[in-house]
Amino acid sequence: MFRNHERLMGFHRFARQEQGVQLLQRSLERGRLAHAYLFTGQDIHELEAMALTLAKVLNCAQPTHEGGIDCCDTCSHCRRMDGHVHPDLHFVRPESKTRVVTGDQVREMLQEIYLKPNEAKRKVFIIAGADRMNEKAANAFLKTLEEPPANSVLILLTVEPQRLLDTILSRCLRLNFGSSVMPELDPARAAWLRNLTDTAAAGTKSLLGRYRLLDLILTELGRLRGIVEEHTSARSPLERYPDAEPALREKWEEELKAAIEAEYRRQRGELLAHIHWWLRDVWILILCKGSPTSDGGDSLLRFPDLAGTVAISARVTVDKASENLQVIEQLQRSLHTNVQEALALEVGLLKLNL
C-alpha cells in the first residue's frame, strides 16, 4: 500500500508500477497523448500521485529523458503543481456529504476546460473517485469526452472501474496501476482475521456471539479510520501552506474531508473483501469435501491456515455457505449507499450462517 509521506518526484519513484509507467512514458515520447486517461488500481492515493506526476511531466519546463521522459520537479510548474496551487491543475473529488461527484461540479469544470491554459502547455483535470459521478454528472461529462477540447487532458481515477458507465470506459485510455494478484495480508490484518475466524468458530449461533463479531469489526474499522485521517491529513496542502488564502484553505478542507471518507471506504471494502474471501474458503472446503487442492497440488483456499475455516465448514451446508457469500456481497453493495454503517453490518452479521 502506498504510504510514502515524501513528495513524489517523478515516475521513477513508482518502482512497483514499472510496467504501467513504462507504457505511459513510451506513449508520451512517441507523441501519443490521449485526451482522457483512466487510471485504475487498489490505492486511490497512489493513483492521485501518478496523475499529479503526469500533469507535471506534461507541463514541465525542463523535462528529463534519462530512463524515460520525466519531470524535473524543480521548475515553477512542477513545484506549484506539487502544492496544488497551479492555475492549470484542477482536482474534482466527491463531495464530503453526499459522496458523489455532482452535475454542478462537472458543469463548473466544463466552464474551465474549454478556456486556454493560463500559464502551462496544457490544462489538467484530475477526477478522483470517477465512479462516484451521479447520472447528471456522467451524462454531462460524456459530451466532453465525445468532443475533447484542445490543450486539456482529463485523468479519471478509480479503484472500482466496474462502476463506471461503459460509454465512459470506451472513451478513455485505461492504464492499470494495481496488481492482479491479491496482496499478502500485513501482520496486523492477519492477526485480526485469525481472531475473527476463531471467534466465529467458537460458536456464534447465539445473539451474543454475533455481537462479539460485530464488535471486532467495528473496532478494526475505528482503528482504520484513525490511520486514514492521520495519513491523509499529512499529505494535505493544508499542512504545507498554513498561510494560504481563506477561500483556498476552505476548499482544501472540503477536499480533505472527501479524501478521508473515500480512503476509509476503500479500506473498509478491503476489510470486507478479506471476510468475503474467508467465507469463500468455507464454501470451497465444503464443496471439495475437505480436500481443496488444484490439479497441481496447490490449495484453492485464500487463507489455508485459518483453523476457524475447518470448524465452520463441518457444521454448515454448501447451500448455507453459498448464502453467506451473497450476504457479504449485498452488504458491500449497501455500504455504497447512505445506509448507517453499524446498522448495515449488524443486519449482515445476523444473516450469516455460522
3-state secondary structure the chain: CCCCCCCCCCHHHCHHHHHHHHHHHHHHHCCCCCCEEEEECCCHHHHHHHHHHHHHHHHCCCCECCCCCECCCCCHHHHHHHCCCCCCEEEECCCCCCCCECHHHHHHHHHHHCCCCCCCCCEEEEEECHHHECHHHHHHHHHHHHCCCCCEEEEEEECCHHHCCHHHHCCCEEEECCCCCCCCCCHHHHHHHHHHHHHHHCCCCCHHHHHHHHHHHHHHHHHHHHHHHHHHHHHCHHHHCCCCCHHHHHHHHHHHHHHHHHHHHHHHHHHHHHHHHHHHHHHHHHHCCCCCECCCCCECCCCCCCHHHHHHHCCCCHHHHHHHHHHHHHHHHHCCCCCCHHHHHHHHHHHCCC
> Residues 161, 17: one domain?
yes
Do residues 94 and 100 make contact, with C-beta atoms less than 8 angstroms apart?
yes
CB atoms within 10 A of CB 18: 11
**Is residue 59 assigned to a domain?**
yes
> Residues 168, 212: one domain?
no
pLDDT of residue 190: 92
> Residues 87, 201: one domain?
no
CATH of the domain at 34: 3.40.50.300
> Residues 171, 192: one domain?
no
Residue by residue, pLDDT tens for the chain (354 residues) are 333 334 446 887 776 677 778 888 888 887 878 888 999 887 888 899 899 999 999 999 998 887 788 898 899 999 999 888 899 999 988 875 667 888 888 888 888 888 888 998 999 999 988 988 888 888 888 888 887 788 899 999 998 887 888 888 888 888 888 654 555 678 999 999 999 999 999 865 677 888 899 999 999 999 999 999 998 888 888 877 888 888 888 888 888 888 888 888 888 988 998 998 899 899 988 887 766 665 554 567 888 888 889 889 988 898 898 889 889 888 888 887 778 999 999 999 999 988
Nearest to 265 by CA among 257, 253, 275: 257
Rounded Cα distance between 318 and 323, Å, is 9
pLDDT of residue 120: 87
> Residues 22, 140: one domain?
yes
> Residues 337, 204: one domain?
yes
> Residues 149, 216: one domain?
no
CB atoms within 10 A of CB 273: 13
**Is residue 2 assigned to a domain?**
no
pLDDT of residue 215: 94
Do residues 44 and 262 make contact, with C-beta atoms less than 8 angstroms apart?
yes
pLDDT of residue 180: 46
- Domain count for the chain, please give it: 2
Output phi, psi for 297, to 5 deg.
90, -5
> Residues 109, 246: one domain?
no
> Residues 22, 54: one domain?
yes
Rounded Cα distance between 1 and 86, Å, is 28
pLDDT of residue 2: 35
> Residues 260, 327: one domain?
yes
pLDDT of residue 238: 84
Boundary-marking domain end, from 129, 155, 176 = 176
pLDDT of residue 259: 82
Do residues 97 and 131 make contact, with C-beta atoms less than 8 angstroms apart?
no
**Is residue 181 assigned to a domain?**
no
Domain encompassing residue 116: 11-176
> Residues 59, 204: one domain?
no
pLDDT of residue 292: 66
pLDDT of residue 7: 43
**Is residue 61 assigned to a domain?**
yes
**Is residue 236 assigned to a domain?**
yes
Structure confidence by residue, pLDDT tens digits, 225-239? 999 999 888 888 887
**Is residue 137 assigned to a domain?**
yes
Boundary-marking domain end, from 113, 146, 176 = 176
> Residues 80, 131: one domain?
yes
**Is residue 182 assigned to a domain?**
no
**Is residue 6 assigned to a domain?**
no
Boundary-marking domain end, from 176, 196, 231 = 176
